[in-house]
Amino acid sequence: MESTGILIAGGGAAGIMAALAASNRCRDIIIAEKMSQPGKKILATGNGKCNYTNYHQSEECYRGNNSKFAWDAIQKFGCKETVELFKSYGIVPYERDGYVYPLSGQALSVRDILERQLNNTTADIHTDEKVIKAQVHLNKKTGKQDGFIIETDKSRYYARKLIIATGGKAGPVHGSDGSGYKIAKSFGHSLVHPLPALTSCILDEKYLKEWAGARTKGTVRAYSGTGKLLYKDRGELQFVASGISGIPIFQVSRYISSELYKGGKPYLIIDIMPAYSIEEIIKELKRRRADPANSSAGDIFEGIINNRLAQALLKKCGIPVKSRASGITDSDIVKIARTIKEWHLIPRATGGFDKAQVTCGGVKTSEINAGTMESKLCKGLYFAGEIIDIDGICGGYNLQWAWTSGYTAGSSAGNSFRKQAY
Ligand SMILES: Cc1cc2nc3c(=O)[nH]c(=O)nc-3n(C[C@H](O)[C@H](O)[C@H](O)COP(=O)(O)OP(=O)(O)OC[C@H]3O[C@@H](n4cnc5c(N)ncnc54)[C@H](O)[C@@H]3O)c2cc1C
């Protein structure tokens, strides 16, 4: 059985950062990573460009049962500290509307630089090695806990400290399969049920074939079945064959996942012409109806609404696309304008974990110390990253949470070695 100071389960963003932070204080660190390479998910972030943080930070950017938990940690090691640390590693920031990327425009460079920094420490990365279970180790003489026994699919380890950074369940193709939850539960931890977030909404509407491929700037409001506004956002809406997607939909999806999980009947209201009032739209549609150049119903939307979306709009309103423009009644126009401004959609589901960018839910923050990421239930056990019940909005906040919690867990675990003169 190999002995080590700190064993980190999971070599994703949080695990790598934990190892880097701990390596200043502790020489014996092992990362057990189940995939063939560390940080595989980092490569997929920001469409391959890695949006690794955001200059606009507030508590509202972080969600979970207690967003203050994340915010307290971010006050100590947040965006500024991350950018400075990354700069010291050679990752030069490039900023667009607050979103921060590496100047290289390549996620690969972030992952590779972090890996090289890690290789420059005494930490060992064991790839293709999955942590299966872990338990506390009791000192034979004192009968007190003095570490952990960790079993992987290849070996057995004794570690003084254990950091669980196995991610959530989102993007399993990159390694995160939810196996860390079982390990956390074996130490008595409880979970806020993990659900997909930052994903699309699946709809059953009869006009999906018509709108598939359309995109437009718009707003979305998500409501619970009882009519409570859950969240609203604006940006590019993307209309797809399975439902609706795009960043504003991603932002509301965690609330839809959670309402559906609770058995509720949440709904969305989208506005596809947010810059215009309903009166302005009615007036414009009437003017277009009267224009003899517009012969079919579909013609009157040309130049203002994407033609695929216009077909879906007409189908929803029960008007054949090929019917004569002059045959559209005043009440049809009011109905169309109302739909443009307040298009009701009922999600049947959200895109699954394989499509989601992040998991909402995870290990309860009430059972973790925000200042150290140490478990309140088991001394020497730490959590970092997406496994914790914190999820960020789109825009670099999830990686920021991984850096923040990884740094906090790694430096706290490492600090305790210095105190104990390990
Ligand atoms: C397509 C996509 C795009 C994204 N884009 C962005 C973005 O631009 N900006 C942003 O902020 N966030 C983005 N995210 C979210 C962000 O990538 C994650 O929130 C972040 O990577 C979480 O870091 P983590 O280390 O906690 O978990 P992960 O990155 O999931 O890492 C966990 C690691 O643990 C390993 N592991 C799991 N179980 C075990 C086990 N039992 N034993 C050993 N190893 C194990 C996994 O293989 C994995 O390498 C994106 C996510 C996806 C899927």
**395 pocket-lining for ligand 1 (C-beta < 6 Å):** no
Kindly report the pTM of this predicted structure. Answer: 0.95
CA 24 to centroid of ligand 1, rounded, Å: 24
Contact predicate 317/334, CB 8 Å = no
Q: Using one digit for the tens of pLDDT, what is the confidence trace for 139-166?
A: 989 999 999 999 999 999 999 999 999 9
Q: Is the CB of 199 under 6 A from ligand 1?
A: no
Indicate the pLDDT class of residue 371, thresholds 50, 70 and 90: very high
Check if 40 has its Cβ closer than 6 Å to any atom of ligand 1: yes
Does 131 contact ligand 1 (Cβ within 6 A)?
Answer: yes
Ligand 1 pocket, residue 370 CB under 6 Å: no
Minimal-distance CA residue to ligand 1 atom 47: 175
Q: What is the pLDDT of residue 417?
A: 83
Tell me: pLDDT of 384 over 70.
yes
Integer angstrom CA distances of residue 297 from 136, 216, 308, 338 = 71, 20, 13, 17
pLDDT at residue 217, rounded to an integer: 97
Q: What amino acid occupies position 239?
A: F
Measured between its terminal Cα atoms, the distance across the chain in Å is 19
Mean of all residue pLDDT scores within the chain: 96
Taking residues 328-352, report their average pLDDT: 97
Over residues 48-69, the mean pLDDT reads: 97
- Give the pLDDT confidence score for residue 295 in this predicted structure: 86
Indicate where the chain has its CATH 3.50.50.60 domain(s). Answer: 2-196+361-420
The pLDDT value given to residue 294: 84
Q: How far is the CA of 327 from the centre of ligand 1 (A)?
A: 55
Q: Which atom of ligand 1 is nearest to the CA of 178?
A: 38
pLDDT score at 344: 98
Residues 25-52: tens digit of each pLDDT: 899 999 999 999 999 999 999 999 999 9
Q: 416: Cβ–Cβ under 8 A, 6 or more apart, which residues?
A: 161, 380
At residue 416, the pLDDT reads 82
Q: What is the dihedral of CA 216, 221, 222, 225, to 10 degrees?
A: -120
Residue 419 has pLDDT above 70, yes or no: no
Residue 274 has pLDDT above 90, yes or no: yes
Confidence of residue 256 (pLDDT cuts 50, 70, 90): very high
Which of 152, 309, 325 shows the shortest CA–CA distance to 239? 309
Mean pLDDT of 250-271: 97
Q: Are 161 and 416 in contact (CB under 8 A)?
A: yes
Q: Which atom of ligand 1 is nearest to the CA of 391?
A: 19
Q: What's the gap in Å between 386 CA and the centre of ligand 1?
A: 7
pLDDT at 420 over 60: no
What is the distance between the alpha carbons of residues 204 and 191, in angstroms, rounded to a whole number?
A: 31
Count of alpha carbons within 13 angstroms of residue 74, beta-carbon side: 25
pLDDT in tens, 223-242: 999 999 999 999 999 999 99
In this predicted structure, what is the pLDDT of residue 422? 46
Q: For the chain, what percent of residues have pLDDT higher than 70?
A: 99
Closest by Cα among 285, 267, 270 to 325? 285
pLDDT at 257: 98
Ligand 1 nearest atom to the CA of residue 168, by list position: 30
Contact (Cβ atoms closer than 8 angstroms) between residue 7 and residue 123: no
| Position 134 pLDDT exceeds 90 | yes
Q: Is the CB of 53 under 6 A from ligand 1?
A: no
Two tokens at 117?
A: 């920094």
Probe target for ligand 1 pocket from 37, 127, 166, with the most ligand atoms within 8 Å of CB: 166
Helices (H), 61-165: 67-76, 79-89, 107-119
Predicted confidence band of residue 322 (pLDDT cuts 50, 70, 90): confident
Report helix, strand or coil for 159. strand
CATH (one of 3.30.70.2200, 3.20.20.100, 3.50.50.60, 1.10.10.10) for 2-196+361-420: 3.50.50.60
Nearest CA to ligand 1 atom 30: 167
Whether pLDDT at 188 is above 50: yes
